[in-house]
Chains A and B, each alone.
Chain A
């Protein structure tokens, strides 16, 4: 079945540093969704990318969808302690209308 790989598994940054997590697939992704899960919480939807090469921004967060629709990235500029959590990418299975999640990247921000 569809597999979505996400790297790095964990990243520890100083507050103010940038952070990037990458999502890759060997097959074409139908659309990519990004979720954030705070420690002890549940995943919360951030954004959806559908078009090849699409770039979307939410304040300090920049989301990109690769031209070949086989990879995606989330970049956070000037991290803050409120950015702490695990970031998941997920691909929508068009048949099941269900999500296949990447393994997640856990971000720790040192104040």
Chain B
């Protein structure tokens, strides 16, 4: 069966510090991968998505970036965090099979920037 992992689970970082959040998927090949951000009490905003290694599409211009160095690894990064980067970061995957639209979410990383 497929599983998705995210770490760390929680993170407190000072403004201006770098960020690296990792997401890995097991039990599937060539998944579509996504990064979402959820502000407190709000909906989910798509940040990045990837359909393959090295292929990243950015949805929102900001100081975040994403990379996919391996088929089942998706990394969210920042060189300098802003206060507004605080939130709940969710990684998700879906099967590349076009008929399977369901997205499966990881447990998320809660980021607090102080």
Contact = CB atoms under 8 A, between A and B. Distances in A.
Interface string B6-48: 0000000000000000000000000010101000011111100
Contacts of A106: 41
Interface residues of A, number: 22
Given A31-B101, A43-B105, A48-B101, A100 B46 contact: yes
Nearest to A43: B105
| Interface SS of chain A | strand
Interface residues of B, number: 23
A97 interface: yes
A74 B69 CA distance: 39
A96 B57 contact: yes
B105 A42 contact: yes
Nearest to A97: B32
Interface of A: 6, 31, 33, 41-45, 48, 88, 90, 92, 96-104, 106
